[in-house]
Structure 1
């Protein structure tokens, strides 16, 4: 349970710092348009902070961590997916602010991050189902 709590707290800090980074980078580059930096802090706060708080509440009721192996797969896959997605958003956003055209590889890496997140959600539902079935008996 502590890993879920600490993950939420860390994503809160990262989300707030990325919002500050976006504001200062936009100001320093006299940029007023849209870039991926606009939504980086939102992704971290919602998919990081809020989702890990939701996972924590579900853990309290269903003891997801009881199935250590599957939980670890979910936990690691989710972090990799979220961090990869956000890193590519930041890279794309910084390039936009600097007037550099982003490579299609950045979109591909971001897509890979989204795939990791999708797999993590599938693992989460499998884990939740197993925990629910265990609790029923």
Structure 2
């Protein structure tokens, strides 16, 4: 399992866990490697399934505890898409929005300058400055 030094890579995530007082066990290294490699939005159960294929001693509680600390430290973001389980993604990426496929559960990341400008315009007209925002679109593929 290669250690990555990219932002959000395993060594960055390990440092965050160490600072929070957690030991970096073999099981946590497996979880961190999966997080560093994945470009999707897994939930805790999906992370657990992937990790347990590599190390059968990993418990679901270790996954939850690890994700909780990473979220508290700002390394990952938790998303709860309409009625589904909490899903996770790296917090270090460029701002983007999400389109959730209601049939497959797929989460598609996108960025639209038109939407960003429109949001800024609406906020300005109402006398506000946007501090942060999330946009989630829910849809089905056209037939």
Task: Report the TM-score range of the alignment, normalised by the length of the smaller protein.
Answer: under 0.3
Structure number with the bigger relative contact order (C-alpha 8 A, sep ≥ 6) is 1
Higher share in helix: 1
Q: Which has the higher strand share?
A: 2
TM-score normalized with structure 2 length:
0.24
TM-score by length of 1: 0.25
